[in-house]
Amino acid sequence: MRLKGWMTELVTPFRDGKIDQEAFRALVDWQIEQGVNGLVPAGTSGENSTLSRDEHRSVVAICIEQSRGRVPVIADASSNQTLEAVRMARQAEQGGAAAVLVVTPYYNKPGQEGLVQHFKAINDAIGIPIIMHNNQPRSIIDMSVDTMKRLFELRNIAGVMDSTVNVGRISLQRHALGPDFIQLAGDDMTALASIAAGARGCISVTSNVAPRACVDLFEAVDRGDLAAALRVQDRLTPLHAGLLVESGVSGAKYGLSALERLTEEVRLPLTPMTDASKAIVRNALTHAGLYHD
């Protein structure tokens, strides 16, 4: 399996409180048509913390079905309860996912040994690759490089989605674990720098809204054309920032609604963007060449 390139952490479209399956299928098709290299359903950007078990399973299943093997589907299997994470990972494997994405357990604040045991339990339960998600800003804990090195010895631990926003970690992890350890940037603004430092790609929020431009950026830096990559980065920088001007996925959903691809509906405790924030996103879309009033 080739886990390289620009991959979209998909939003979950809602309409009247329910998953909008038609819009979600259309989003999957559009992303693939635009050239993304992988899809991540039911993750943080998919509002997984507000999805029921059945909804989570449905989102992953629809994504796998609709993608029809055209790109890898990395199904989120994150929980701060190890047995639940194991259940989700098994379910994803049985459903045909190419890999699973598992965040460091949030709120519990386990130590490094707890992280090892959590990921080992998932590793021992399935036979597909596991991408660990180190996301200290959201989960509070930081997985150390030494812990990653221990876990990389396990059969199914393939790499990390690094959301530390510390580009130096990419170099430190590459030095300690070698080039075979898959590193994927988890922050759009620093993805270019992370790829230059050795990451194989990005799991992205921005590519929900601007998939082709994000792929263009990756392809430019991958072929060593930094000048071309910087030109794309200059187009996307306001969008990277604007989509996160309010916390959560409200920005990405508003951007997609402005492009008439789905509604901006989110689930509480998230709320739709304020008018002032919407103006920032529209201006950023215009700067990127994606939107015209």
Say which residues have a Cβ less than 8 Å from residue 118's Cβ, sequence separation at least 6. Answer: 82, 85, 104, 105, 110
Average pLDDT of span 223-231: 97
Cα separation, 105 vs 242, whole angstroms: 28
Average pLDDT of span 263-274: 97
- What pLDDT was estimated at residue 136? 87
Token pair, residue 88, equals 């989700």
Share of the chain above pLDDT 90, in %: 95
Average pLDDT of span 232-260: 97
**Given the DSSP bridges, would you call strands 18-19 and 14-15 parallel, antiparallel or unpaired?**
antiparallel
Cα separation, 22 vs 31, whole angstroms: 14
- What pLDDT was estimated at residue 137? 83
- What pLDDT was estimated at residue 271? 97
Share of the chain above pLDDT 70, in %: 100
- What pLDDT was estimated at residue 1? 59
**Three-state SS across 118-169?**
HHHHHHHHCCCCEEEEECHHHHCCCCCHHHHHHHCCCCCEEEEEECCCCHHH
pLDDT in tens, 9-23: 999 999 999 999 999
- What pLDDT was estimated at residue 135? 93
pLDDT in tens, 79-101: 999 999 999 999 999 999 999 99
Res. 125 pLDDT band, cuts 50 70 90: very high
Domains of the chain: 5-223 (3.20.20.70)
Res. 139 pLDDT band, cuts 50 70 90: confident
Long-range contacts of 188-194 (CB under 8 A, 24+ apart): 188/214, 188/236, 188/240, 188/243, 189/165, 189/237, 189/240, 189/241, 190/165, 191/217, 192/217, 192/221, 192/229, 192/230, 192/233, 193/167, 194/162, 194/167, 194/170
Reported pTM = 0.96
